[in-house]
A and B are shown apart, each in its own frame.
Chain A
């Protein structure tokens, strides 16, 4: 292990914050991954409660069923690293005010479920916070086909993308592929925050 490099990364991450919209299979796993990496502050936004059926891919536990996802995830992150500051917004992102919880973060992560909400959210962040890097994911459903996933960048939008993936409305969501894309998003966020790993 290159301790000098690790110390430099940890020091830099202690000054950074990431906001996550949606705490399902993508968002809950992104949050945990970034907490383990040593991010200083996470802003978590989701209106939903943990359901038993979520446990097939989301970072919650059986005894948390019925709790607000923002609260349950804050609890889980606290068990991994109590030094991480977690700010929670247990609310539904509504059109025309979607950017509000994310004004002070360094990177915004789109981790929503429904395609229309994803497109609305990305549009609104890009229009209202044009300088803010946004990481999004599209094409999580199914299994296998890991190497169809690519990173697409245009301007401040960084996308974890499988354009041939089916919609989750007609297919399945399973832990391996959703987790892969969640960590892809977290990895992109690190690259944005730290600069390219040369």
Chain B
């Protein structure tokens, strides 16, 4: 089991960050992702594997300032 933005979600073996985002239907192009408080750079989304029991924060950046 993993926790994505405080929601309990099944853990999938060998799932990358981009696959998880797709499974969660997070389609926003610009997100900041942290796994257990550690930042995952966007360039590594397809190679970093989500570990079991991890807490994932997905933050969606929206234009405007």
Which residues does A use to contact B, with CB under 8 Å? 22, 24-27, 111-116, 118-119, 122-123, 126-127, 137-141, 152, 154-155, 157, 159, 161-163, 165-169, 171, 173, 178
Q: Mark B39-61, 1 if CB is under 8 A from A, else 0.
A: 10110000000000000010111
A-B residue pairs, 8 tightest by C-beta? A168-B64, A140-B64, A113-B65, A155-B37, A141-B64, A154-B57, A115-B63, A26-B65
Which of B37, B59, B63, B65 gathers most chain A CB within 10 Å? B65
A and B contact pairs by CB, cutoff 8 A, 12 listed: A113-B63, A119-B30, A119-B32, A119-B61, A122-B32, A137-B65, A138-B59, A139-B62, A155-B37, A161-B59, A168-B63, A171-B64
Tell whether, in the assembled complex, residue B61 and residue A111 are in contact, meaning their CB atoms are under 8 Å apart. Answer: no
Closest to A110 in B: B65
B24 to chain A, nearest CB (A): 13
Chain B residues contacting A178 (CB-CB under 8 Å) are 64-65
Interface residues on B, range: 10 to 19
Q: Given B31, B34, B41, B60, which contacts A157 in the complex, CB threshold below 8 Å? A: B34
A66 to B2, CA, bound (A): 52
Other-chain residue from B29, B38, B39 in contact with A123 (beta carbon distance below 8 A): B39
Shortest beta-carbon distance from B65 to chain A in Å: 4
Residue in A26, A118, A169, A171 whose CB lies within 8 Å of B61: A118
